[in-house]
């Protein structure tokens, strides 16, 4: 039975960064990824805020270089889907659809995903005016109108943040009352750049290359409203904040979590020795590429230390 020093689950920025550091430290490492490498950042057409990235950088180009680096350091990679994990023993067992893999240590880098709004046109306009991350994409909507879907803490907090850039921010919420904390609601009500459309759902997003319009339905009276882009702008932004979920179902009951996010210490250690978690799947305050790659580096270095102590 082949036993790797390290298995990394997930090949987004956090997993790839862990791979680079582990490969460079000569750990016998396997990365398991079910899709393409890159994770959520593959949907990002322009990265402005990753240090060293100028506007020529896109999610895919940044990921391509990370993948090359991982290969250069001799890290193995398989495309397979993890279906079960056994983490307690000294040898961890990762059961996938195609094969079962074994390792002395595991770095979980499975990521998280925004819950889709469930609107017609969602797939077409993702990354073309429809976003799920205000920190990532807010600055692209400078002086444009922006619509935020959702009524929870994220929707209201991010709507307030988006007023820094947008001409006006309108929160579209499916009920009369917002779910967000009262303190956040008060801030939003006081903000002159924020409007509300309540009891309303977004039915359809329309346009060509970018968003040019959308159709709303009032769920109380069934009235349909069409919103069109200001002719001077030609487009507007839509941000979906109807929930964000870590991909952590496999670890429920096995690792300590909070709201589904895996709890780690500052060295990325979970409650099980030899098991680390990095990137968006972990409980943390800022989910960005820059923090994901930092997590990956820290976890790989800690893995090396753990293996040395075990030897």
Q: Does the footprint of ligand NAP cover residue 278 (CB under 6 A)?
A: no
- Choose the stretch contacting ligand NAP; rule: CB under 6 A; options: 56-64, 73-81, 84-92, 242-250: 242-250
Q: Which one of 152, 191, 193, 204 is in contact with ligand NAP (CB under 6 A)? A: 152
82 DSSP β-pair partners: 96
Minimum distance, C-beta of residue 33 to ligand NAP, in the bound complex (Å): 26
- Choose the stretch contacting ligand NAP; rule: CB under 6 A; options: 44-52, 73-81, 189-197, 239-247: 239-247
Minimum distance, C-beta of residue 173 to ligand NAP, in the bound complex (Å): 6
Q: Does the footprint of ligand NAP cover residue 118 (CB under 6 A)?
A: yes
Q: Does the footprint of ligand NAP cover residue 151 (CB under 6 A)?
A: yes
Count of CB atoms within 10 A of residue 146's CB?
27
SS3 279: helix
Which single residue brings its beta carbon nearest to ligand NAP?
152
Total residues contacting ligand NAP by CB under 6 A comes to 19
Minimum distance, C-beta of residue 49 to ligand NAP, in the bound complex (Å): 19
250's CB contacts (< 8 A; 6+ apart) are 82, 83, 84, 85, 110
Minimum distance, C-beta of residue 175 to ligand NAP, in the bound complex (Å): 4
Among 80, 137, 280, 295, the one annotated catalytic: 137
Using the minimum distance from each CB to ligand NAP, give the nearer residue, 203 or 254. Answer: 203
Among 133, 209, 230, 295, the one annotated catalytic: 133
Residue 183 structure tokens: 């303190």
- Altogether, the residues listed in the chain come to a count of 311
Give the whole-angstrom CA distance, residue 273 versus residue 93. Answer: 14
Question: Active-site residue 96, yes or no?
Answer: no
Using the minimum distance from each CB to ligand NAP, give the nearer residue, 213 or 243. Answer: 243
Where in 153-192 is the site for ligand NAP (CB under 6 A)? 153-155, 157, 174-175, 179
Give the whole-angstrom CA distance, residue 9 versus residue 34. Answer: 9
Q: Helix 182-190 crosses helix 153-162 at what angle (to 10 degrees)?
A: 30
Using the minimum distance from each CB to ligand NAP, give the nearer residue, 8 or 117. Answer: 117
Q: Does the footprint of ligand NAP cover residue 214 (CB under 6 A)?
A: no
Among 5, 80, 96, 136, the one annotated catalytic: 136
Q: Does the footprint of ligand NAP cover residue 127 (CB under 6 A)?
A: no
Q: Does the footprint of ligand NAP cover residue 8 (CB under 6 A)?
A: no
- Tell me how far CA of residue 90 lies from CA of 83, 104, 235, 299, 306, in angstroms: 20, 6, 55, 18, 12
Q: Which one of 14, 103, 117, 281 is in contact with ligand NAP (CB under 6 A)? A: 117
Q: Does the footprint of ligand NAP cover residue 227 (CB under 6 A)?
A: no
Active site residues: 133, 136-137
Q: Which residues bind ligand NAP (CB under 6 A)?
A: 117-118, 149-155, 157, 174-175, 179, 201, 241-244, 259
């Amino acid at each position: 039975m082949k036993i790797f020093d390290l298995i990394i689950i997930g090949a987004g920025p956090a997993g790839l960064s862990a791979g680079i550091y582990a490969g460079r430290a000569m750990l016998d490492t396997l990365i398991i990824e079910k899709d393409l490498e890159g994770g959520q950042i593959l949907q990002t057409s322009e990265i402005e805020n990753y240090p060293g990235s100028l506007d020529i950088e896109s999610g895919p180009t940044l990921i391509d270089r990370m993948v090359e680096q991982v290969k250069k350091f001799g890290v193995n990679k398989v495309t397979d889907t993890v279906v079960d994990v056994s983490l307690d023993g000294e040898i961890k067992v990762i059961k996938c659809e195609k094969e079962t893999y074994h390792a002395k240590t595991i770095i979980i880098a499975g990521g998280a995903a925004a819950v889709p709004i469930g609107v017609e046109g969602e797939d077409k306009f993702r990354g073309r005016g429809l976003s799920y991350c205000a920190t990532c994409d807010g600055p692209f909507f400078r002086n444009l109108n922006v619509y935020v879907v959702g009524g929870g803490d994220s929707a209201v907090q991010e709507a307030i943040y988006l007023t820094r850039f947008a001409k006006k921010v309108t929160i579209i919420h499916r009920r009369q009352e917002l779910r967000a904390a009262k303190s956040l609601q008060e801030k939003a009500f006081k903000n002159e750049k924020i409007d509300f459309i309540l009891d309303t759902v977004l039915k359809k997003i329309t346009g060509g290359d970018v968003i040019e319009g959308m159709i709303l339905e009032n769920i109380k009276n069934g009235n349909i409203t069409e919103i069109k882009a200001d002719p001077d702008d030609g487009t507007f932004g839509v941000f979906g904040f109807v929930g964000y979920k870590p991909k952590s179902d496999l670890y429920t009951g096995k690792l300590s979590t909070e709201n589904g996010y895996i709890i780690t210490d500052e060295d990325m250690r979970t409650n099980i020795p030899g098991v680390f978690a990095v990137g968006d799947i972990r409980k943390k305050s800022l989910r960005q590429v820059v923090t994901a790659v930092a997590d990956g580096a820290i976890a790989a270095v800690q893995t090396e230390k753990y293996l040395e102590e075990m030897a």
